[in-house]
Each structure stands twice: as structure tokens, then as C-alpha cells.
Amino acid sequence: MHTDSPAKPLYQALVETILEQIRAGRWQPNQRLPSESALCEQYAVGRNTVRRALQELNRLGVVKTVAGVGTFVVDSRLDKTAQVLYGLSDEMAQYQRQVTSRVLEASILSADPFLARRLQVQLGAEVVFLHRVRLVDNSPVAIERAYLPHELCPDILKFDFSHRSLYRVLTDEYGCRPHHADQVIEAELATPQVAELLALQPPAVVFVFHRETRLADDRVIEYVDSEVRADRFRFLAHLRLSDHPADSAFRRLPVLAAERPLG
């Protein structure tokens, strides 16, 4: 067990050790962990330390303790479709998972040249900026930076986006139902800031999303950059062979990803 840092609580060191063991495959998804007494003996720590470590692992969604039965490793990967446009709240509702957010910033910006192009607005036009950490069952899974044309959703920041779904508010309050999107997904190493916000132990890989979302009339309603925990999601897609060359939407996807690095 890693106890090299004198400032690190003993239970936190045990959390990191158990996480490493799970990632290394010692305990598989749905497998029961050793009993509290066995963990005490194995790691030479007290029962209170083990209990606090298990509480933290439960909070992170890594394990689930069933009273009278034991503590089990959670298969934390959630299936996410790569074909249908969903908001995270609606998609996770299929798994009976609760989605909340920690709002880091909610403000009105002036469109710079990049945002003016992405959102198809005038340079200097008002843009809604919503920066959130998304949590599934209180465990951080994604960071989102969403930009929206203010003229399409005036006063939208009056809503509490720590619990409200952005797509639902757009649909129900403004009649702006997201219809289709172009999206690029890349894999990158998490920066120290991203790792801290997502409770990741560096080095860690995240999925990076760039998405441009449009209404049925093809007006842009949202541009979003996001980082998603790669250990919590896998992407599913149904593919078929096409007789037609890639269309213009596909050809512009590399531009969507390459125009500006994440900030």
C-alpha cells in the first residue's frame, strides 16, 4: 500500500491501492472483494480505515456494498450510442442512473471569430457559456463546455443547470429541440486539471468530444467541447456499407476538431 506521503490519510492510500488492484484485473467486475477483516489483515490497517476506504470507493461508483452480503466491484462502463443524439440525462435514464452537474461557470460571452463560425452568429454576438462537471450517481464522468446563441435562448441562465437537462430546457422552454449533430471523438491523456475534476489518477485517458448540434432547420443551437472518462463509457454503433462517397457533413468533421485546441 502506498504510504509514501505523510500528509495523505491512510484510508486514501488504501483507496488508491484497491483502485490499482481493480485496474490491474485482480478483482473483476461483479466480483466480491475480500471481507473487511481480510482487508485489515492484508493491508495491515484498522477496521475504521477499511470502512472509510470502502465508503469512498462506493461514493466514486467503483464498488457497491450490499448489506449482509459483501462489497462488489461495479462494472462501471456505461454503453453510449454513437448513432443517436441524446442528452446525457436522457441517455443515463435508460440505466436508471441519476445525472447531476456541478456548474463551474454560467455566463454571457461575446462571440470571438471561432465561436462566430461555429454558431453561425455575428462577431461579438452574445453567446451563452455553460461549463459543468457532469456526475452520474454522484461520481464525476465528464466535463462540458457548451456554447449557445443567446438570441435563440434568452435568459436561459435563470434555470438551475445543476439539476436541469440543457436539452430539455431548450426543447420545453424555447421550442429549440436539438435534431442532429456532427461530432468528433478523440482519445487524449487527461491534463492535471481535467484529472482533478474527474477524480482520475494520472496518467489517465479521456475521450475528447467536439460536437456541433443543429435544429431541424439546420440552425446551430450548440457547440460543445467535453472530456469524458474513458473508464466509464464504451461506444456502440451499428454500421452498414454505403454505396455513396462520404458526404459534405463527414468531410467537415476534421475541421470541427482541428480549428481550435481545447481551452
CATH code, domain with 234: 3.40.1410.10
Residues 67, 133: one domain? no
Residues 159, 235: one domain? yes
CA atoms 23, 28, 30, 32: torsion sign? negative
- 4 lies in some domain: no
CATH code, domain with 54: 1.10.10.10
d(CA 56, CA 189): 24
Residue 98 identity (one-letter amino acid): Q
Structural domain ending residue among the three candidates 26, 41, 73: 73
- 29 lies in some domain: yes
Residues 111, 161: one domain? yes
Mean pLDDT per 10-residue interval, the chain, length 263 residues? 68 91 79 94 94 91 89 76 62 70 97 96 98 89 96 97 94 95 92 93 89 96 94 77 63 58 49
pLDDT for the residue numbered 30: 84
- 211 lies in some domain: yes
Helix or strand run (H / E) with residue 229:
strand 220-229
- 1 lies in some domain: no
pLDDT for the residue numbered 52: 95
Structural domain ending residue among the three candidates 53, 73, 93: 73
Structural domain ending residue among the three candidates 73, 89, 121: 73
**Number of domains the chain contains:** 2
pLDDT for the residue numbered 204: 87
Residues 149, 202: one domain? yes
Q: Residue 181 in contact with residue 213, Cβ under 8 Å? A: yes
Residues 125, 57: one domain? no
Q: Please give the model's pTM, rounded to 2 decimal places.
A: 0.68
Residue 144 identity (one-letter amino acid): E
Q: What 8-state DSSP symbol labels residue 115?
A: H
- CA–CA distances in Å: residue 37 to residues 33, 34, 43, 72, 178: 11, 8, 10, 16, 52
pLDDT for the residue numbered 86: 62
Residues 39, 53: one domain? yes
pLDDT for the residue numbered 20: 85
- 125 lies in some domain: yes
Residues 90, 194: one domain? yes
Print the domain residue range for 173. 78-258
Residues 53, 165: one domain? no
Label residues 157-171 b or e (16+ Cβ within 10 Å = b).
bebebeebbbbebbe
Query: What separation, in Å, do the N-terminal and C-terminal C-alpha atoms of the chain show?
Result: 36
Residues 30, 86: one domain? no
Residues 54, 157: one domain? no
DSSP 169-206: HHHHHHS----EEEEEEEEEEPPHHHHHHTT--SS-EE
How many degrees, rounded to 5, is the angle at CA 138 between CA 179 and CA 175?
Answer: 25
pLDDT for the residue numbered 75: 72
- 18 lies in some domain: yes
